[in-house]
Structure 1
């Protein structure tokens, strides 16, 4: 059954938590929150876009002699989207976010469109995270993963991610493991497009198609989870590097 795909972790059912969870009420001001987090997507090399770019495989970020370096990979300048191939569509991505060909190959336009699209979704991400009991002003990792999932998949999945992340954490998961579980769970939707691990269908057709082409003998959950874990780890690594540099600058 789909419920068994959740693995050995003891996680409460999504339906139960959705109705029973008593989230703490925190002061929330959308305008102030937008002011706080918008700088994450101010430039192609701001933290938010770096997180998405590294998760996509379009950036490499590293520290050398106390300096944070950003390197564009070959993917940045054009690569075929592997997910779209799952339904026979050939799309060439450009820029930090893999732009689904919207830029027509103009890198400057690709960078601009990536930033515009990421910023346009921030109000929704902030409200959804707050509604799920996650403070988007403090939990940068949750916000970055929500933004990355919005970039990767249909918007409905990033809408469901905050709820899934709250479920994962209440079920005892933490850190990257909670994020990867939640990102995977967000693809399981019922006919009402609600998060539903018991009766929902895995909607990650692009990822499932990749696993099929690679002849991997794994479940749909495992197929999606391996990709979401990779992306969650990539984002966590970028965030840790940023924090490391900030701490070095404070000591200087």
Structure 2
């Protein structure tokens, strides 16, 4: 299949997935999220096997590759894109390096960036494990969802990855499965304590575009502009669709990595 046709098919499939998941928005019940505090959960029992640890055992592990591809820093075969070496974060202007887009934490040294990415991600495994267990999910039976939670920890505010297990449980309870369940859960996890979807801020008069909402609202980002133009700016539907467009790309990237190892 030639590249233009492949791109059209990919876009159609993405639109279909967003449409299917989007039908659940209007009837979605209010989700009672667990506490969004970012402190460590006391009394964590790391009673899982080595399967979860192996996802992030080293910089060549499956979970690492999945997040690297979701960030646009790796290809499925593990080769690095130019963004891996350096890119400017479109949401906050920070300089990123390494497989996780490290927000400058590793300085200008790629080895430091990758080491920091791995250490930071591994430090969150016990917390994400515990939060999934709290809602009756065994992370070892939902490895792809678990990596999506880790990806949210890497991408967004800590409250988002903290909320994901609850929203994922809600998605499964609503009958969603696979990528549809993960996508719906990822979007819904962006709700703040007031129940509003929160992923950045914009000020059109001052030309301020911060976070994911800023990326979607920026007139220079025609990909988002053309797909969101039918919704009132910052309305619930606009917010949901903005987040979903970004999250859908990441969900698909992670799924492709898991599919490649089966």
- Specify the TM-score bucket, using the shorter chain as the normaliser: 0.7 to 0.9
Q: Cα RMSD (Å) of the superposition?
A: 1.9
Structure 1 position 33, deviation (Å)? 1.2
Aligned to 2:108: 105
TM-score, length-scaled by structure 2: 0.75
Q: Residue 35 of structure 1 aligns with which residue? A: 50
> SS of the residue aligned with 1:39?
helix
Q: Which residue number in structure 2 is paired with residue 74 of structure 1?
A: 82
1:13 to 21, 29, 44: 29
C-alpha distance 106-175 of structure 1, shift in aligned 2 (>3 A): same
TM-score relative to the length of structure 1: 0.78
Instruction: Identify the match of residue 181 of structure 1 among 175, 180, 184.
Output: 184
Structure 1 residues 1-252: aligned runs within 5 Å: 7-9=22-24, 12-15=28-31, 30-33=45-48, 35-61=50-76, 69-84=77-92, 90-191=93-194, 200-205=195-200, 206-213=211-218, 214=221, 216=225, 217=229, 218=231, 219-243=238-262
Q: Deviations over 1:55-83 (max 9, x none)?
A: 0000101xxxxxxx310000000000011
**Which structure carries more relative contact order (alpha carbon 8 Å, separation 6+)?**
1
Separation (CA, whole Å) in 2 of partners of 1:220 and 1:172: 23
Structure 1 unmatched ranges of 5 or more: 1-5, 20-28, 62-68, 85-89, 192-199, 244-252
Asked if the contact 2:33/2:163 (under 8 Å) is kept, the reply is no
Size of the aligned set, in residue pairs, is 208
Structure 1 residue 98: deviation in Å? 0.4
Q: Residue 149 of structure 1: SS of its match in structure 2?
A: helix
Deviations 1:183-207 (A, max 9, x none): 000111224xxxxxxxx12221111
Q: Distance in 2 between matches of 1:49 and 1:119?
A: 10
Cα offset, 1:123, TM superposition = 0.5
CA distance in 1: counterparts of 2:197 and 2:28, whole angstroms: 19
Q: Distance in 1 between matches of 2:214 and 2:160?
A: 18
